[in-house]
Amino acid sequence: MSRILVIGGGAIGLLTARELATAGAQVTLIERGETGRESSWAGGGILSPLYPWRYAESLTALASWSQARYTDLCQELQTASGVDPECLSSGLLILDPEERTAALSWAKAHQLRMEPIEPADLAKLEPALGHTADGALWLPEIGQVRNPRFARALRRAVEGRIEVREHEEASELLVTAGRIQGVRTRQGILEADQVVVCAGAWTATLLEQLGEAPAVEPVRGQMMVFLTQPGQIHRIVLYRDRYIIPRRDGHILIGSTLEYTGFDKSTTAEAKEQLYRAAGALFPLLRHSPLEHHWAGLRPGSPQGIPYIGVHPQVEGLYFNAGHFRNGVVTGPASARLVADLMLNRPPILDPTPYALHAQR
Ligand SMILES: Cc1cc2nc3c(=O)[nH]c(=O)nc-3n(C[C@H](O)[C@H](O)[C@H](O)COP(=O)(O)OP(=O)(O)OC[C@H]3O[C@@H](n4cnc5c(N)ncnc54)[C@H](O)[C@@H]3O)c2cc1C
């Protein structure tokens, strides 16, 4: 039985470890902090790319595969972990109608339900909406998960099936004669037959020591959450790259910024002001709702938003699954399955070519 080491315990590392363990591999996951506390904690959990028609087919393929399986995945995780990831099919209402024709034909080609909404009907759909739009697009099938709970469910679901080592950081990838041997950590050397790097925004930092690394860089995203009475806002609403996500218990998220500020995870007064204004313009009730929290996370940014999934071209046994940028939750299940297929020599669920190391240059 091959010994596999997964580096990074975000959603991508946990999903990958789960896939590998399900196939019978002996898996160890190392996480330098605690699992599910970085980007996978900070995100919104929308189970669709924003404006999905703007993305490359390779990204859509990962998203569609995952979307078709999310309800079952959440059910399995809840049964295995006792934690409800709050997978809700709240639907997505897009208030920028400018690309309506292109969006509708894209949806038809991808068999995704998308309905044009006339301005007069908007208030019937979302009575609390304060924004008057020239029309909207309604995607009733789009869902969401609640990130911290999703990550906790994943973590608990793999406990006992894999070894999880927290507070252990891979500082060096050990390679001999073009083959991975394991990694060095402050606690010692961990040997493995195969290693898969799922280190999110820190992936390039780790792989750069080998000369060739995926072009993954941190992209900060700030979000805020308000507390309201449940049942006042029903749908995920998107307008000019800002979105509102209603959780089941009345928490309402507003996101998010897109900032290239290195590994700095601090929040800013400027973003707070912008998000607050955007939230109040979309739903005036949020101006009178308590603001509970404001935070930032580091997305693993990639040049075209397409994750790197595959084998290192120079190092046998070394794989990566990283760079999911704005869509790691929605694409994660397919991405984990694909990398596991490649590592285990199974027929892949998708053609891996677009996710290779040099495909995005
Ligand atoms: C504000 C915001 C909103 C978002 N909204 C959405 C959304 O609505 N839908 C969606 O699909 N996606 C969304 N995303 C994107 C999504 O959250 C990410 O793509 C996804 O979480 C990436 O998962 P990951 O496991 O690769 O990274 P992370 O969750 O960052 O995990 C990487 C892990 O690797 C660990 N690590 C790093 N280096 C090492 C090392 N050397 N040794 C050991 N461990 C290491 C880190 O500590 C970390 O825990 C959002 C992101 C942000 C920030």
Distance 38 CA to ligand 1 centre (A): 5
Closest Cα to atom 37, ligand 1: which residue? 199
Classify domain 3-66+148-216+303-355 at the CATH class level: alpha beta
Q: Which atom of ligand 1 is nearest to the CA of 144?
A: 8
Residue 202 has pLDDT above 80, yes or no: yes
Q: Is the CB of 48 under 6 A from ligand 1?
A: no
Region 74-94: mean pLDDT is 97
Ligand 1 close to Cβ of residue 49 (< 6 A): no
- Cα distance between residue 315 and residue 193, in whole Å: 12
Q: What fold characterizes domain 92-141+217-301?
A: D-Amino Acid Oxidase; Chain A, domain 2 (3.30.9)
How far, in Å, from the CA of 134 to the mean position of ligand 1?
35
Q: Is the separation of the CB atoms in 249 and 232 below 8 Å?
A: no
With b for 16 or more beta-carbon neighbours within 10 A and e for fewer, the 93-117 pattern comes to bbbbbeebeebeebbeeeebebeeb
Helices (H), the chain: 11-22, 39-42, 57-67, 70-81, 100-109, 119-125, 147-158, 203-207, 269-282, 328-343
**Does the C-beta of 207 come closer than 6 Å to ligand 1?**
no
pLDDT > 70 fraction of the chain, expressed in percent and rounded: 99
Q: Give the list of residues 6+ apart from residue 105 with CB closer than 8 angstroms, or none.
A: none
Radius of gyration for the chain, computed over Cα atoms and rounded to the nearest angstrom: 20
Give dist(CA 127, CA 137) in Å, integer: 16
Task: For residue 162, report the distance from its CA to the centre of ligand 1, in Å.
Answer: 20
Instruction: Tell me which amino acid residue 229 is.
Output: Q
Tell me, in angstroms, the distance from the centre of ligand 1 to residue 71's CA.
21
Of residues 134 and 31, more confidence is placed in: 31
Phi, psi for 7 (deg, rounded to 5): -105, 115
**Residues comprising the chain, all counted:** 361
Q: Which of 155, 329, 330, 331 to mutate to test the pocket of ligand 1 (most atoms within 8 A of CB)?
A: 329
End-to-end alpha-carbon separation of the chain, Å? Answer: 36
Is residue 1 over pLDDT 70? no
- Ligand 1 contact via 317 beta carbon (within 6 Å): no
Rounded Cα gap, residues 18 and 159, in angstroms:
10
pLDDT surpasses 80 at 132:
no
Rounded Cα distance between 336 and 342, Å, is: 10
Residue 359 has pLDDT above 90, yes or no: no
Give the strand pairing for 92-94 and 236-239: parallel
- Mutate which of 32, 35, 39, 67 for ligand 1 pocket (most atoms within 8 A of beta carbon): 39
Q: Judge whether 11 and 328 are in contact, CB under 8 Å.
A: yes
* Ligand 1 lined by 323 (C-beta under 6 Å): no
pLDDT average, residue stretch 305-327: 97
Atom of ligand 1 nearest to the CA of 198: 26
Q: Which atom number of ligand 1 is nearest to the Cα of residue 8?
A: 34
Going from the Cα of 47 to the center of ligand 1, the distance in angstroms, rounded, reads: 15
Tokens of 66: 């995952």
Question: Domain extents for the chain?
Answer: 3-66+148-216+303-355, 92-141+217-301
Backbone angles phi, psi at 269, to 5 degrees: -65, -35
| The pLDDT value given to residue 2 | 76
- Please determine, for residue 358, whether its predicted confidence score (pLDDT) is greater than 90: no
Q: Cis (ω within 30 of 0) for the bond into 302?
A: no
Q: Work out the average pLDDT over 324-329.
A: 98
Instruction: Give the integer Cα–Cα distance in Å for 32 and 182.
Output: 16
Distance 255 CA to ligand 1 centre (A): 16
| Each residue's pLDDT tens digit, 150-165 | 999 999 999 999 999 9
